[in-house]
């Protein structure tokens, strides 16, 4: 009886949370379908007309989303890949290699997630302005990689703890260097975790707005979310359906990436005992 009640409560909680997530998503999709010229100002709960592709076309042209898509693709791929490799190296060093004060190194790296990112905005803005990194693609790649490493390290370290130590010991006895051990043994064994980290950080960088509007001004540098924010700034000119269609459009790459790599994402977060 107790287990049955607990199962019912869990199922009900999951259903309520799913509903809370699905309602705004449903509203976004339904209202993005409404032709811009037919929108009356009141939100639609049921689809009545289909103007999605025209709304997406208007959003693409008016927000100049083409270059922004390319910028975000560059920032997301390079930053997520760099964070995954660097985090794998840090996990290898603190778990596999015989270093001292492993717990201290863990907290030094992981502490980057303990503070809200907003506290870094002012010092970053000032330092970027003084070092000519402001409004550059390299500057955004640099900050996106830096903020992605702490959580990536957390995932990679926890995954490295589950790896069999016998493999490392056997490789060392055979004379393998630490460099060879990392690239030929550690990286293949942690591939699923690295893919999961890449997917997670790709989505995080792609969806970032704060650094995109703070550290850039040029349209040919700004990421896609900053370009979408410009479109939303012209809300009264283009109409809500165009803005919502633009939001739906820019979310498609992350959805495709997540579902295509879902198998690696789920398997890497399991704790193997």
pLDDT 10s digits, 62-71: 878 888 899 9
Residue 132 region by backbone torsions, left for phi larger than 0, else alpha for psi between -120 and 50, else beta:
left
pLDDT at 12: 85
- For 76-125, the pLDDT digits (tens) are 999 999 999 999 999 988 888 788 887 888 888 888 778 788 888 888 88
The residues, ordered by sequence, that sit 6+ positions from 177 with a Cβ below 8 Å of its Cβ are: none
For the cut 50, the answer to whether the pLDDT of residue 272 exceeds it is no
User: What confidence category does residue 233 fall into, taking pLDDT thresholds of 50, 70 and 90?
Assistant: low
Residue 14 has pLDDT above 70, yes or no: yes
H helices within the chain, ranges in order?
2-33, 52-62, 65-91, 102-110, 121-131, 137-160, 165-173, 178-181, 187-189, 191-206, 210-214, 224-233, 235-238, 240-260, 262-268
The answer to pTM > 0.85 is: no
Q: And the tokens for 136? A: 């550059």
Q: Which residues 6+ apart lie within 8 Å of 167 measured at CB?
A: 185, 189
At the topology level, CATH places domain 63-268 in: MetI-like fold (1.10.3720)
Query: For residue 234, is pLDDT > 60?
Result: no
Residue 221 has pLDDT above 70, yes or no: yes
For 158, the token pair is 């926890």
| DSSP code, position 174 | T
Give the model's confidence band at 1: pLDDT under 50 very low, under 70 low, under 90 confident, else very high: very low
Which span out of 28-32, 78-82, 94-98, 160-164 was modeled with the highest average pLDDT? Answer: 78-82
Record the tokens describing residue 91, joined without a space: 């996990």
C-alpha closest to that of 153 among 83, 86, 81, 87: 87
Three-state DSSP class for 120?
A: helix
Domain(s) of CATH 1.10.3720.10: residues in the chain: 63-268
């Amino acid at each position: 009886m107790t287990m049955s009640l607990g199962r019912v409560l869990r199922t009900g909680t999951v259903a309520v949370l799913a509903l809370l997530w699905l309602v705004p998503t449903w509203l976004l999709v339904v209202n993005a379908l409404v032709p811009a010229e037919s929108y009356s100002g009141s939100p639609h709960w049921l689809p009545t007309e289909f103007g999605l592709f025209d709304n997406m076309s208007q959003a693409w042209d008016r927000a100049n989303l083409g270059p922004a898509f390319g910028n975000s693709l560059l920032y997301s791929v390079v930053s997520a890949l760099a964070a995954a490799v660097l985090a794998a190296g840090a996990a290898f060093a603190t778990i596999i290699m015989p270093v001292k004060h492993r717990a201290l190194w863990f907290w030094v790296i992981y502490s980057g997630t303990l503070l809200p990112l907003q506290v870094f905005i002012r010092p970053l803005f000032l330092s970027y302005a003084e070092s000519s990194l402001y409004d550059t693609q390299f500057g955004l790649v640099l900050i996106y990689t830096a903020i992605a490493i702490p959580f990536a390290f957390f995932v990679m370290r926890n995954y490295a703890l589950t790896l069999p130590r016998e493999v490392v010991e056997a490789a060392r006895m055979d004379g393998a260097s630490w460099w060879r051990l990392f690239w030929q043994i550690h990286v293949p064994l942690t591939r699923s975790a690295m893919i999961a980290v890449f997917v997670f950080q790709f989505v995080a960088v792609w969806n970032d707005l704060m650094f995109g509007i703070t550290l850039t001004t040029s349209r040919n540098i700004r990421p896609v979310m900053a370009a979408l924010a410009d479109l939303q700034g012209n809300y009264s000119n283009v109409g809500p359906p165009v803005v919502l269609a633009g939001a739906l459009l820019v979310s498609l790459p992350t959805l495709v990436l997540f579902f295509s790599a879902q198998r690696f994402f789920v398997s890497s977060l399991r704790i193997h005992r």
